[in-house]
Amino acid sequence: MKKYFILIMFVVFAFAKNDNQNFRFVIVGDRTGNCIPGVFDEIIDEISVLHPDFVINVGNLIHGYTEDTIAIHAQWDTVLNIVERLPCKFYFVPGNHDIQNEKTREIYEKRTGSKTYYSFDYKNSHFIVLDNSITQWSMAQTMDEQQKEWLTQDIEEHKDADNIFVFFHTPAYLNAYATNIPDPLLDMFNNYQVRAIFCGHLNFYMRNLNENTELIVVGSSGAGMYDNDPAKGNFYHFLFVTVQDKDYDIAVIKKGNIFLRNVFTGSDYHALERAQQEAVTFSDCIVKDESKKISCKCTMTINNTGIDSIIHPLMWNFDSTHYKIAPRQIPLDIGLEEEKKYKINFTISNGSDIFPLPQFALVYPFTFGKVCTLRSTLGIKRLKNIRKIKSALVIDGKLDDKAWQKIKPISNLGSHDGQLSPAEKTEIYLCHDKDNLYIGVRCFESDLSRLVAEALEHDGPTYTDDNIWFFFDSNFDKETYYQMIINSKGVVFDRLCSVRDGQRSVNPEWNGPWEIKSGREDNAWILEIKIPKAGLEPFNEEKWGFNFRRLQTRIRNAEACWSLPFGHYPDNFGMIEFE
């Protein structure tokens, strides 16, 4: 009898011990940037009904990006009041909107009560929170030595935990993972048998697997998204994680719906990216600024790399006061791995006024069981003729030289989706002499007191300030090009870049020959720029690839681009021709 009692007690104790290791926690994604009002609140309310043991986020709870500390505290007040509704502890992970500098780092630590990187244990599992809010561990930046030393010691001390989970904001591993390049951080996590890494930042959901470590990108829990297509991983959601001893499971929950965690995989992402880039292409359609009533013909090629026939018609949508396109609707019947070409005739009323661009919609079967709608714009390359002046300009941050007054500036600019830019008016003046290219910049700003210009040294992070970007393909080889990003104080971040065989490389040590002066007008900030042509060797004396973009930080999605797509795509740059 005594033996049976001991056996029963052993079984009860064993099961009690196992039950004691079971727990559930929730992971929420980015609330910002471009917070959609009410979404995060509703998600927090739904989480409360599930009663998890705790909740953790992956960064970007506030909008940030302001020097106004009162505004930052008010943003934290809003977030913390929402989080306080939870019936459990909330763990914080820093994102790039939460922290941009030491001042906002101090506010973050004070308001959240958390260090920017730390760890904690829960039952049989160890949780590691890392900080790449500022550096984002991009190509030219790595984890700071102090954090790396702490991580090495912490993970070694807790290597015997049944489960190790890691959290940080920006999924910096993706480039190395996609190109099969070794990543020291991923190697460390694999060596210590980390079960899963959770990140945010991209605002869409994605899962990959690296050896035995799951790589999860948590999508939006309130941040703005490019569209609302679940097939692309775009839907407001949170993750519900159940841990049972050394096993765990993840449910992806969309406001009243539960999705399997492979709802959008890395393979889906690459298939969709390929479709977005290759499914529809256009022959070069060059539109010259200032030309009137331009009639163009181009060839549109549709390449079906999906898994089924394309049978739905392609539809055009455009502003009839700017464009005429024929045919407006194109019937399609394109088999698997088949390519067809279509002639497009269109008319533009004014080459200086091309936005909004015509858009098309194509229903596309990009992977098994999934059909999405590809949306993009008519491929137009802009061309600007650059006037030659007789004498050199004085670079003093003032656009008062007579040469500037005789030049019609570029001012019709768009956002990445081909719509008119929401930024305030931007004027770009261009001229040249035998040896130099001159650029005048006037960025209208109705509230100059809210300009962001925190970078003060050369190659500082001007890309987070109010700024203007330039790309120059000076030898017009569509491979090598120069980049510079200038803030309103005239501080420059510059690089020599190249794209060969689809691989981009940069030389951050390269410094350009720019002469720049900044200035102010009553309702605008000014840049005056002189670029010695010989300083961008080798250079073509007749034509350069060229593009630019303004970023106005205080207005939502306020980018103002000249030629689309904007980015490191030298084959798609607009062009400037020298008189």
What local confidence, expressed as pLDDT, does residue 501 receive? 82
* φ/ψ of residue 478, rounded to 5: 60, 25
Residues 6+ apart with CB under 8 A from 72: 62, 64, 66, 104, 107
How far is Cα 204 from Cα 236, in angstroms, rounded to an integer? 9
Task: Encode 114-128 in three state secondary structure.
Answer: CCCCEEEEECCEEEE
What local confidence, expressed as pLDDT, does residue 5 receive? 41
What local confidence, expressed as pLDDT, does residue 183 receive? 85
Count of Cβ atoms closer than 10 Å to residue 321 Cβ: 8
* φ/ψ of residue 106, rounded to 5: -65, -45
What local confidence, expressed as pLDDT, does residue 259 receive? 57
How far is Cα 318 from Cα 512, in angstroms, rounded to an integer? 40
* Residue 365: cis peptide before it, omega within 30 degrees of 0: no
For each of the domains in the chain, give its residue range(s) and CATH number, in order of start: 19-264 (3.60.21.10), 274-377 (2.60.40.2310), 384-578 (2.60.40.1190)
Look at residue 133 and give its three-state secondary structure: coil
Residues 6+ apart with CB under 8 A from 97: 30, 32, 33, 59, 60, 61, 62, 63, 64, 65
How far is Cα 299 from Cα 278, in angstroms, rounded to an integer? 14
What local confidence, expressed as pLDDT, does residue 13 receive? 39
How far is Cα 500 from Cα 513, in angstroms, rounded to an integer? 25
* Cβ(491)–Cβ(464) below 8 Å: no
Amino acid in position 7: L
CA atoms within 13 A on the CB side of 517: 12
What local confidence, expressed as pLDDT, does residue 11 receive? 36
* Cβ(131)–Cβ(146) below 8 Å: no
Structure tokens belonging to residue 60: 């970007």
Question: How many residues in the chain?
Answer: 579
**417, β-bridge pairs:** none
Look at residue 529 and give its three-state secondary structure: strand
Q: Per the confidence metrics, is the pTM higher than 0.85? A: no
How far is Cα 377 from Cα 359, in angstroms, rounded to an integer? 4
Q: What is the DSSP letter of 358?
A: P
Residue 356 backbone class (left: φ over 0; alpha: ψ -120 to 50; beta: rest):
beta
Q: Directed axis angle between helix 39-50 and helix 69-83, to 10°?
A: 30
Mean pLDDT by 10 residues, the chain (579 residues): 42 46 95 92 92 96 93 96 96 96 95 96 97 80 88 97 97 78 88 96 93 94 90 94 94 74 83 87 89 90 91 94 92 94 92 93 86 89 94 93 93 93 96 96 96 94 95 95 97 94 87 96 97 93 96 90 92 94
Residues 6+ apart with CB under 8 A from 396: 517, 519, 528
Long-range contacts of 297-301 (CB under 8 A, 24+ apart): 297/343, 297/344, 297/345, 298/343, 298/344, 298/346, 298/379, 299/341, 299/342, 299/343, 299/344, 300/341, 300/342, 300/343, 300/344, 301/339, 301/340, 301/341, 301/342
